[in-house]
Amino acid sequence: MNEKLYAGLDAAYPEMVEIRRHLHMNPEPSFHETKTAQYIRQYYEKLGVEVEHGVGGNGVVARIQGAKPGKTVALRADFDALPIQDQKENVPYKSTVEGVMHACGHDGHTATLLVLGKTLHNMRNELEGTYVVIHQHAEELVPGGAKSMIEAGVLEGVDVIFGTHLWSTTPFGRIDLRVGPIMAAADSFELTVQGRGGHGASPHETIDAVVIGSQIVSNLQPLVSRRVDPLESAVLSVGSFVAQNPFNIIADQAVLSGTVRSFKEDVRSLMETEMERVIEGTSMANNSRYEFNFKRGYPPVINHEKETHYVKGIAQTVPGVAEVYDCPPQMGGEDFAYYLEEIPGTFFFTGAMPDGDVYPHHHPKFDFKEEAMLLAAKTLGAAALNFHK
């Protein structure tokens, strides 16, 4: 059965590339992916596959029923783009939408799953069980699309779920996975420091929001090294500090924002509590006021042990996979976490490092090796087919 799956995917690889490039040229940002959702829906309708659209927002779900009884396996791919200007050069598939591009590989995820869905549909008379093909909107922007799709019932009756992410900084031919936490909780924060402005020549008459904000940034940095157990992991990054004024005016207000990443709930709560304690103390010492908002994003992606070992074994047999690597966890976030909170499953990385220059995800020149889509499809497909045994 695997050989027939692989042969079908090999034959359809040019279509996979064509779909990916079409989507790359026509990206849509999170929660605005109406044309992309329509494209996905129409693809399945032309095949005669049962498909539901508008699931939890812009989500699309196809269901492929095998001729024989068996378990229900879900496969998921995301399809939203990012508000980034495409700066790639010398490629025929550069984004045609100003200020929007697929800078994270979701176009490749969608092409992978569409062609895999088609291949499974063509094999339906030989298949066992049911295959729920989840095309999810809005992974890039909290609250994301996974939670609303789950609330709409996409996991009802599903026994297991598998997903992958094409990873541009991992060598092509390698599958990365691990039991337990593989991606971090992705939280964000915004802080407004309220002082009292004035003339730059009379600082003694002001409460300088820039100085206080700078102190807060410095005071927050030791939290990870001095408050978090050194055997645990956390990241605190201030990404924006805005206090716009003429050169000779002392700012009355500064707005700071950033992100916090962690893997465990107790560390997550500790960071939130300790951040506000530091901010409050620094503000009190400077006679200023503040407003602090800590926004919880996606929970950590926690892979289930049995299903991860299962996919590891499958990946080792997939043609073209040169290495299966037990990778360390990484601090990126993913709302696939919500699926794994509900049912067993696993999420893995498919190495997609391009030839030539390599750019990380969310970079304006991001790209990936398109052949990685074929390895992703074969690994997901084999995991789905063999789960019934």
pLDDT in tens, 319-340: 999 999 999 999 999 999 999 9
CA distances to 136, 154, 167 from 133, in Å: 10, 9, 21
Active-site residue, from 28, 80, 86, 107: 80
Largest Cα–Cα separation, the chain: 82
Residues 248-272 pLDDT 10s: 999 999 999 999 999 999 999 999 9
- Which pair of structure tokens corresponds to residue 256? 């700071």
In DSSP notation, 118-161 reads HHHHHTGGG-EEEEEEEEE--SSSTT-SHHHHHHTTTTTT--EE
Asked if 15 is an active-site residue, the reply is no
Tokens 């399809």 sit on residue: 79
Residue 230 — very low, low, confident or very high, per pLDDT cuts 50/70/90?
A: very high
Q: What is the pLDDT of residue 212?
A: 98
Q: Residue 69: CB partners within 8 Å, gap ≥ 6?
A: 128, 129
Q: 186, 333 in Cβ contact below 8 A?
A: yes
Checking if the pLDDT of 195 tops 90, the result is: yes
Residues 97-145 pLDDT 10s: 999 999 999 999 999 999 999 999 999 999 999 999 999 999 999 999 9
> Which among 51, 44, 53 has a CA at the least distance from the CA of 122?
44
Q: What is the pLDDT of residue 222?
A: 96
Residues 136-158 have a mean pLDDT of: 98
- Dihedral sign for Cα 66, 59, 368, 14, please: positive
Checking if the pLDDT of 173 tops 80, the result is: yes
Side-chain-side CA neighbours of residue 62 (13 Å): 29
Residues 36-70 pLDDT 10s: 999 999 999 999 999 999 999 999 999 999 999 99
CA distances to 96, 100, 213, 232, 366 from 85, in Å: 10, 6, 30, 36, 11
- Which pair of structure tokens corresponds to residue 15? 């279509």
- Measured CA to CA, the distance from residue 271 to residue 12 in angstroms comes to 48
Burial class (CB in 10 A: 0-12, 13-18, 19+), 5: buried
Mean pLDDT of the chain: 97
What is the Rg, in whole angstroms, of the alpha carbon atoms belonging to the chain? 23
- Measured CA to CA, the distance from residue 215 to residue 213 in angstroms comes to 5
Residue 209 — very low, low, confident or very high, per pLDDT cuts 50/70/90?
A: very high
- Measured CA to CA, the distance from residue 108 to residue 354 in angstroms comes to 13
Q: What is the pLDDT of residue 216?
A: 98
Checking if the pLDDT of 389 tops 90, the result is: no
Residues 4-47 pLDDT 10s: 999 999 999 999 999 999 999 999 999 999 999 999 999 999 99
Burial class (CB in 10 A: 0-12, 13-18, 19+), 116: buried
- 179 DSSP 8-state letter: S
Residue 1 — very low, low, confident or very high, per pLDDT cuts 50/70/90?
A: confident
CA distances to 164, 194, 225, 264, 370 from 4, in Å: 22, 65, 53, 42, 22
Which residues are paired to 133 by β-bridges?
A: 62, 75
Active-site residue, from 33, 107, 139, 272: 139
Residue 287 — very low, low, confident or very high, per pLDDT cuts 50/70/90?
A: very high
3-state helix, strand, coil in the chain (%, to 5): 35, 30, 35
Asked if 139 is an active-site residue, the reply is yes
Q: What is the pLDDT of residue 388?
A: 83
- Which pair of structure tokens corresponds to residue 190? 């915004």
Return the number of other C-beta atoms located less than 10 Å from residue 247's C-beta: 5
> Which among 302, 304, 338, 301 has a CA at the least distance from the CA of 152?
338
Cis link prior to 171 (omega < 30° from 0)? no
In percent, the amount of the chain with pLDDT more than 90 equals 99
